[in-house]
Structure formats: C-alpha cells, structure tokens
Amino acid sequence: MKKILWTLGALLLLGVISIFVIEQWLAKNLEDRVNSNEERAYDLTFEEVNVQLFRRSIELKQISLSPRKTDLPSTIRGTMTSTRLGGVNILGILFGDVLEIQELKFEEPKFVFTKIDSVARKPTDISDAFQGLFGDIISRGVIHNVVLNNGCGEFFTKSDSLTKFGSFDNFNISAVDLETDSVRLNYAIPFKLKSISSSLKNLHLQLDEELSFSLGGFSFDSDADAFDLRDLKLAYEDSNLEAAIRSDVQKDFIEIDVKHLKIEQISARSSIYGNWSVVAGLITIDSLNLHDLRNKNKPRPVDEPEKPMFEGMVELIPFPLEVDTIRVLNSQITYAQISEGKTKPGSLNFENLSAEITHVVSLDSLQSGEMLIHGEAILNGFAPMRMDVTVPYTREEGKENFQLKASVDPFGLPSLNNILGDLVSVNITSGSMEKLEITMDANEYASSNFMKFDYQELKLELKDEQEEKKKFMSTLSNILISNNNLPENRNYKTATFQTERNIYRGTFNLIWESLREGMLEIAPGDLMQLIMGEQDPSDGGKRR
C-alpha cells in the first residue's frame, strides 16, 4: 500500500514538475515561436508571460509591436497592457509547427501611425497600414476568434521632428470563426469568417494646415451588412470665409457637416481596407450641410482645371463606388460668393433638401445606362423647387451631357433681390411669380434651354454704383418692360435660348446662369437688357 502511495506521490510530483517545466519552457520560447515567420512585417515582444496549462490559457503583459523595417513611407507601432490567448492547443505548440488559439484578445491597445511628411494624409493609406498590421498578427497561427477592446491611436508625420496630425479612441473589434488561411484582400472583410463587428469614436485628421476631417463615431456589423457613420465634418480652422479671404487665388472652399451616413445592403465585393471600394444597395445621408464659397476678388489659378459635370463628379470619387440608390434627407446646400469689389458674400441656399439618386457608378468600365437624380428643396427660404436630372453614362466622343427639368412654386418677386443684388443693377419692388419651369439639354460647353416664367405686377428700380435710385431710368424701364407675363396675355412670352457654360465653374453654376438668362429674356426685353448691362465679360465667362 505504501509503495502504491509513494508511486502515486512520485507521479504527482513528476506531473507538477513537468507542468512547471512546460510552462517555463513555453514562457521562454513563446516569443521566438510568435516571431518565427521570416516574412513577418512586425516583431511582437512582451515583458511578462503567464502560462496556465490546465486552463489552456496564456496571458502576455506589457506587449510591444514594432515594424521590422523602419524606412517605409508609413509605419505602425503599438503597445498593449495585456493580451490573452485562450483555448490554446498546447500539444500543437509543443510538437507542431502551428499556433492554434480559440480566442486572441487584446486589451487597451495603443497604436502610433507615423508617415514621412511628403506622403499625403489619406484615410485609405491609414486603413491600408492597419490592414497590414492585423493581417500580419492573425496570420501567425490558426486563430478562430479575435477580440480587441478599447483601443486608441495617434497619427504623426515625420520630417526633422514628429508632428501629430490625428487621433482616435474607443476602437473595438469582435471577429467570430475566422479562417486565417483564406485571405481575401478584395473583399469587405479580408478573412473568411462567420461575423464581425467593429466600432470607433472621435477620429480626427488634420489634412493640411487649415483643413481638418473628423468623425464622431463609426460602426460596422457584418450580420446587418451595414455601416453607420455619425457626425462627419470637413472644416477649416476658423471658417471657409476666412480661408477664402486669406487665399492668394480664387477657388472653391468647401465645408461639410453630416449628422448620419448609413450604408446598407453591402456586397461582399466591397472593401473597407486598403484599396477602398463600396458596392451597396442603399446609402442614406441625413442632415447634410454643405457650404461652398468663392472669393471673386482673388485671381484664378493660372493652371485652373476645367470643372466636371454630374458624371465627371461621380468619377472623381477616389475609390470604386457602385450604389443602387443614394437618399439625402433633411439637408442644406449653400453656394456663396464674394463678388468683385464686395467684402461680404451673397448666397444661394437650398434648404429642406431631399434627393434620391439612382444607379451611381464611379468606374468608367462599369458604367452603363443612366444615373437619375430627383431633388426637392426651398430656395433661400421662399421658393419651393423640384429638379429631375438624367445623366447618360454613354458619352459621345468622350463628352459629358445631361438633361434637366426643374420647376419653382409661386413666390413674391422682391425676394429675388437677395440673390440678384450682386449680379444686376436692379431692385424688384413688386410682383409675384406664378410659374417658373425650365428644361435643359446640356453638354460640356453649353445648354439648350426652354423656359416659362409667368409673373404679374412686376416693377423695378435701377441702381447706380452707389446703389442710389435712378428715378428717370427706373420710370422708363417700367414703361418699357412687360409688367405681366401670363398665358392669357396677348404678348405672352416664353424663352428658347442657349447658355454658354463657364467650364471653370460647376454644373450648378450653369443651371443658375440658365435660369437668370431666361428670366432676363422674358421679363425686361431687349432694350432692358441693354440698360442693365448684363452681357458677360470678354474673358470667356471666367469672371462670371
């Protein structure tokens, strides 16, 4: 009996010693095993290893991630308080070549992204770098589930010194049933898996000295096939007005604020890593506020490029986009300019804007058929309007074109003074607009237009350069113009005309110029147009 007890005791002691030896051996050799791949991009080091053989668990503390090459255009370094390897195949580590883990869990990782100062600060470059980092870590073994909790990061540029240009926090990932031997870099999720959820808050990027981009929150759920982005902002340090005043040249200074952007019905052909692409059924943009400002007191750039129209704007999207429907709700778009000799901007405000855009495709090779746009808004708070645009994707000889139908509900004509004030030398003192309809067939250089502008009781007064009333000329103009233009009138007028497009201005400038020229042709008549001096300057419309 004693012999049996001694034998059992000896075996138990041997087992305890063996477990201790194995745990110590694992603790000593784990770092070499983790970094055994000669083609790895990063070294993973740690100061403390806690192996619990019976629980099949390994906990690493004070972990550091560092790139093996430091001369790359961009690198990531990381530190973590702890990392837990759960459900470890101990026998596989001892006798096999593959590290198999049921769950890899990162706690409070901190990342530092550093790029050479000459490299552009593009979000796609940052996502590409993080894809490479996580792909490098996950590919070191068979890892079935990955969890990352409460991560944060900072972005720096490197020249003579380090300069911070961005940060994020509350970064979380949960990936279930990964198959790490099935890398699919052209898909939304670069590994085959059952499901993944991810979220991030307070992303901020300083794009240049004046312009910054921020994102309040981001979340992705593969089960719902949906992205949620909240509180997106593209803004200048003080305002786009101040930036336009400081600038040496005239250009568009655009600020964007979006409360909520949701992408749904996401195709597996999408990618949110590296080379971004979005293939989806529906994108909903809620509470967009876009403000575009130009300062016409500044000279245009010598090498200013031509502005694209609708199709060209879609093709300028810096990643492949293929969406069945884009829906815009509760939004506002403002086009403002500081006219020559002026210090304060005048603006066109499209308020309470809603729109639906179907068949949006940014890659020329995938484009076919046509893009359709339907929009409704209230112009400057007084004129409800609707617009339907058809944009064929099949170009003739490489030229862009579109067809437009628009209408405006009745409004009081004096309301136009706030819009026309800097453009014409006239005030509208009374009158009401009963119907305004326009159709346009436009190409890159001009639009052919037909317009109905029905109004009654129109009266004007002219201004000189000091905006004082020219009494005699105002009286004469009101005699010469048609005060009423209604279908029942004998001299009822419509307008069929062409508008030359300023190729250095956007599509909405062409729409506005067509509306303005049509109203001037119908209301004042030829003599009145001469009095108002509304001919374009002799520079091909560049100063328009």
Identify which of 246, 251, 369 has the alpha carbon closest to the alpha carbon of residue 303.
251
pLDDT one-digit tens code per residue, 251-266 = 889 999 999 999 988 8
Q: What is the C-alpha to C-alpha distance for residues 62 and 397, in angstroms, rounded to an integer? A: 62
> pLDDT over 70 for what percent of the chain?
75
Both tokens of 350, joined, read 């499209």
Max mean pLDDT among 105-119, 203-217, 307-321, 526-540 falls in: 203-217
Determine if residue 290 is left, alpha or beta; phi over 0 gives left, psi from -120 to 50 gives alpha, anything else beta. beta
- Which residue would you say has higher pLDDT here, 347 or 424? 347
Q: What confidence tier does 396 reach under pLDDT thresholds 50, 70, 90?
A: low
- Structure tokens of 138? 């996950």
pLDDT of residue 7: 57
Ordered DSSP codes for 61-127: EEEEEEES-S-SSEEEEEEEEEEEEES--HHHHHHSS--EEEEEEEES-EEEEEEETTS---HHHHH
Statement: residue 414 has pLDDT above 50: yes
The Cβ of residue 55 has, within 10 Å, a number of other Cβ atoms equal to 11
Q: Which two tokens stand for residue 119?
A: 């490299």
Average pLDDT in the chain:
79
- DSSP 3-state assignment of 544? coil
Which pLDDT score, from 0 to 100, does residue 543 have? 40
| The pLDDT of residue 452 is above 60 | yes
- Yes or no: say if 273 and 318 are a contact pair by the CB < 8 Å rule: no
Over residues 420-427, the mean pLDDT reads 60
What pLDDT shows up at residue 540?
45
pLDDT of residue 478: 54
Q: Are 45 and 66 in contact (CB under 8 A)?
A: yes
Query: Where does 139-231 have alpha helices with state H?
Result: none
Lowest mean pLDDT among 232-241, 405-414, 457-466: 457-466
Residue 185 has pLDDT above 50, yes or no: no
- Distance between CA atoms of residues 281 and 263, nearest Å: 8
Q: What percent of the chain has pLDDT over 90?
A: 28
Angle between helices 507-522 and 525-532 (to 10 degrees): 120
pLDDT level of residue 528 (50, 70, 90 thresholds): very low
Who has greater pLDDT, 468 or 45?
A: 45
Tokens of residue 488, six digits: 């029942």
Q: CB count, 10 Å around CB of 270?
A: 22
Residue in the block written with tokens 């004509």: 413
Q: Identify which of 133-147, 352-366, 471-485 has the greatest average pLDDT.
A: 352-366
- pLDDT exceeds cutoff 60 at 470: no
pLDDT in tens, 52-86: 776 777 788 888 888 888 777 788 888 888 888 77
Question: What pLDDT is attached to residue 24?
Answer: 61
Above 60 in pLDDT, residue 18? Answer: no
Residues 111-160 pLDDT 10s: 998 887 655 556 666 776 777 777 777 777 778 888 889 999 998 888 77
First-to-final CA distance of the chain: 108
Provide the pLDDT confidence category of residue 10 given band limits of 50, 70 and 90: low
Q: Tell me, what's the pLDDT at 398?
A: 57
Instruction: Indicate the SS3 state at residue 179.
Output: strand
What is the per-residue pLDDT across 284-328, written as a single tens digit (0 to 9) for each?
A: 999 999 999 989 899 988 888 888 888 877 777 767 788 899 999
